Amino acid sequence: MHGRTTSNSYRIAVAPSSPTGPARTPTRTPRRRPSATSSQSGRGLAGRAHDAASWLVGGAGRTGVRRWMVLAGLSFGAVVLFSAGSAPAGVSLPSPSRGWSVLDWRKGDDAALLDNPDVPPVVDRSALEKLRLLEIHYGADEEAEPAYDGNDNRQAERYRARTKPNLDKPPLVVEIPEYVKPDPTAPVPPQRVQSDVLDEEVCGANGGRPCQFLVPAWLGEQETKAQQHLYQLGLLALALNRTLVLPNVSKSRLGTCYRNPFSFYYSPTSLSDLGIATISQEDFIAWTLRRDLPPSAQVVTMANAKATYTSGAVEIDSASDPTLVPSKPNRNLCLRAPRTRLDFAGHSPLAIYPPEGYHRNEASRLAFGESVVRTLQSAEVAARASRASSSREADGHALADVLTFNYELRFPMLSPSVAATFASSDSIAEPLPFEHFPYAETWSSLAAFLASRLSPFVAIHWRTETLSPSNLTPCASSLVTKLVALKRQYPQLRNVYLATDYPIEALDPAAFGETEAAHSGTFAKVVTPQHHAAMRRFLKDSRAKLKGEMELRLTTFSKEQAELQAEMDEAGGGLEAVLPPLLATQLSNLTSSDSDEPSSTFLALDALDSGLLGILDKLIAMRAQLFLTGVPGVGSSTAGACAKLSSFTNQLVQAREKVRGETEEEDGGEDGLWNTVAHFSLSGEEVD
């Protein structure tokens, strides 16, 4: 397209308006002196034109410059001077694409625009490319300017003077915007607010600092473990003097792409009660939309250790899309426009890898956590990750206003004391240790209501997904044997509540009710014929030994939900016919419709959100008089085990220990807990 010439400039091929041919040297015609004869005879128009042409091609002075060149230069200078000046009041400037345009003059094919000024000019992106090449041709990029130095006040003043908008001239057009078809159904955009005013409104007086947030955009594990990861990100936000954004939830997952707010699963004060400043995702998105200056943002990945990075590493990907996770380009973080106005363009994605084996002891975990904080505070890392268009930009290396995290770690890396050490404000108290988040009042009330209907009962948590298939059938037999022993020990037991990852409703829909939701999002990947055989054996033995001889009724949440529906049908009313008034109102509001009539169908919670099944299983099992689970394996092994030690079970055990310590009702009674946990083993022998 262009190339260097001996004059150290760029040459641009310009399409001529007429076919090119060999260069011709004009023949100089001697200047003819006027004579009396010619003047008296009155020469014709052709003769006068010939004389004028001869004069134009003649030289001027000793330099030999042609007179027509001088006239052309003067004319061009006059046009430039005229176009640079401001137009008088009431007089509009000519369109840059008409008449005097350099591109139009060279192309020579826009004469129709001069003849008909009502025809709009046609401009496409090729014009911008030609302008760029013209800029290169005239050497605009050859004068090296010194890098911007923020400590040089005079240089800063010169830079501001160059970049200050000139209100006397038209704005500089740098790109042709894409056309976006307006959507008549789109909501009215919120009114923009000055950044510092809005930041103080949202984040409070913060010494003039803008709001800075940490967003858990993607968390790598399901609901129970995700609570621990969110707490770790809360400690990191505290150490970085940022506010934690509470992610949305759905299907036992937490992240920015989900539809339900954090308060749908948990108490909205779960983390603030532990000493970590938070904001809801809804309020955070509203902040990005109302702020007059789009907040800057950066994608940060906390990945698991890599074999190639034995000592850990920090990766900065300056070539990938700044809104995506480079190692997982198909993973959507759901924070791009138009949902938010976050500006990712100025910062390259960052990935932090821990050293191999960092998780084996607390000291190495905390050392890694401290290095993460220092990395995210580092001006050098910010400079390397900056995608600022010019090194002269004063804030080009500033830390991003928003850090959006793709969090894949499995082990904790910070403690409350370490996080408080990094926090800049002395008024920030050390946060409390991690506790599982309190669930939303609606689900706690529903679980308490169902537990009261079942009481006294024994709850079983049996996770079969990770067990060796050969262990399933003997474990099923051992479970029935253990239930018989508990019934003999506690004759008042009436119900057995089963919480399992196996979809037991599929084996007997009439007995357990129907559900379309899976009990586990990962169970279908490992289910085997042995799983089906073991569960059939368990149901057969339980009917034979529990229902007839022991009068123990086996139930699940789906079965209890179906029975409530049957009671509603019999009563001929809405939810208030079978539930306490406040709980009925809370559940009705979850699926409110335009109709004012009460619903005659019990709310199918598994259809509303399949993650609610696991939450309600936990809440009901926490309230059971007896709790039973399988003997876990050692570490990650399940050899000889009937269960894997899971975070689900740990949460249940911790909650029951807390309740027993508070109530002091260890001697029995229908309203108290009779044990913390009991186990059934592969061999069927007593292990408690």
DSSP conformation class of 358? G
pLDDT in tens, 308-338: 899 999 999 988 899 999 999 999 999 999 8
State both tokens at 425.
């404000």
Rounded CA gap, 145 and 169, in Å?
25
pLDDT in tens, 224-271: 999 999 999 999 999 999 999 999 999 999 999 999 999 999 999 999
* pLDDT at residue 99 tops 60: no
Sequence letter at residue 161: A
pLDDT in tens, 11-54: 223 333 444 444 444 444 444 444 444 444 445 666 666 666 66
Percent of the chain with pLDDT over 90: 44
On the question of a cis peptide bond just before residue 189, with omega within 30 degrees of 0, the verdict is: no
pLDDT in tens, 470-513: 888 899 999 999 999 999 999 999 999 999 888 877 766 555 55
Rounded CA gap, 534 and 472, in Å?
6
The sign one gets for the Cα dihedral 606, 554, 582, 439 is negative
Q: What integer pLDDT is reported at residue 224 of this predicted model?
A: 93
* 622-629: average pLDDT: 96
The sign one gets for the Cα dihedral 238, 242, 247, 253 is negative
Query: How far, CA to CA in Å, does 75 sit from each of 51, 68, 69, 81, 535?
Result: 22, 10, 10, 10, 96
Highest mean pLDDT among 92-106, 445-459, 633-647: 445-459
pLDDT in tens, 597-606: 555 556 678 8
The sign one gets for the Cα dihedral 472, 475, 481, 484 is negative
Q: pLDDT band for 525, please (50, 70, 90 cuts).
A: low
* pLDDT at residue 4 tops 50: no
Rounded CA gap, 609 and 652, in Å?
21
Q: What integer pLDDT is reported at residue 138 of this predicted model?
A: 60
Residue 54, CB-side half-sphere exposure with 13 Å CA sphere: 12
List the one residue out of 253, 225, 177 whose CA is nearest residue 651. Answer: 225
Give the Cβ contact number of residue 55 at 10 Å.
12
Q: What integer pLDDT is reported at residue 382 of this predicted model?
A: 92
Contacts of 586 (CB under 8 A, 6+ apart): 441, 442, 445
Rounded CA gap, 444 and 459, in Å?
16
* pLDDT at residue 305 tops 70: yes
* 364-369: average pLDDT: 96
* Domains detected in the chain: 1-7+95-141+151-179 (no CATH), 195-422 (3.40.50), 441-680 (no CATH)
H or E stretch covering 49: helix 45-56
pLDDT in tens, 190-232: 899 999 999 999 998 777 889 999 999 999 999 999 999 999 9
Residue that is written with structure tokens 């949902």 in the block: 339
Rounded CA gap, 590 and 264, in Å?
9
Give the Cβ contact number of residue 450 at 10 Å.
22
* 455-479: average pLDDT: 89
Q: What integer pLDDT is reported at residue 20 of this predicted model?
A: 44
Contacts of 515 (CB under 8 A, 6+ apart): 503, 505, 558, 606, 613
Q: pLDDT band for 57, please (50, 70, 90 cuts).
A: low
Q: What integer pLDDT is reported at residue 685 of this predicted model?
A: 81
